[in-house]
Amino acid sequence: MTSRKEWLRRWWPAVVWAIVISLFSTGAFTSEHTSRIIIPILRWMFPNATMQTLLLVHHYIRKSAHFTEYFILSLLFLRGIRGENRGTRLAWALLAIALVACYAALDEFHQSFVPGRVAAVGDVMIDTSGGIAAQAIAALVVMWGHIRQERREKEAQARSEKEKPVPKNRDGLFS
pLDDT, residue 125, reads 97
Give CA–CA dist 171/173, Å, rounded. Answer: 5
Q: For residue 168, is pLDDT > 70? A: no
Above pLDDT 90, what percent of the chain? 61
**102 lies in a domain?**
yes
**174 lies in a domain?**
no
Beta-carbon-side half-sphere exposure of residue 48 (alpha carbons within 13 Å) = 0
pLDDT, residue 171, reads 67
Mean pLDDT over residues 51-65, rounded?
94
**27 lies in a domain?**
yes
Q: Are 108 and 20 in contact (CB under 8 A)?
A: no
Per-residue confidence band for 139, with pLDDT thresholds at 50, 70 and 90: very high
Give CA–CA dist 137/14, Å, rounded. Answer: 18
Q: What is the mean pLDDT of the chain?
A: 89
**111 lies in a domain?**
yes
pTM (two decimals) = 0.81
| Count of the separate structural domains present in the chain | 1
Q: Are 97 and 136 in contact (CB under 8 A)?
A: no
DSSP 174: B
**12 lies in a domain?**
yes
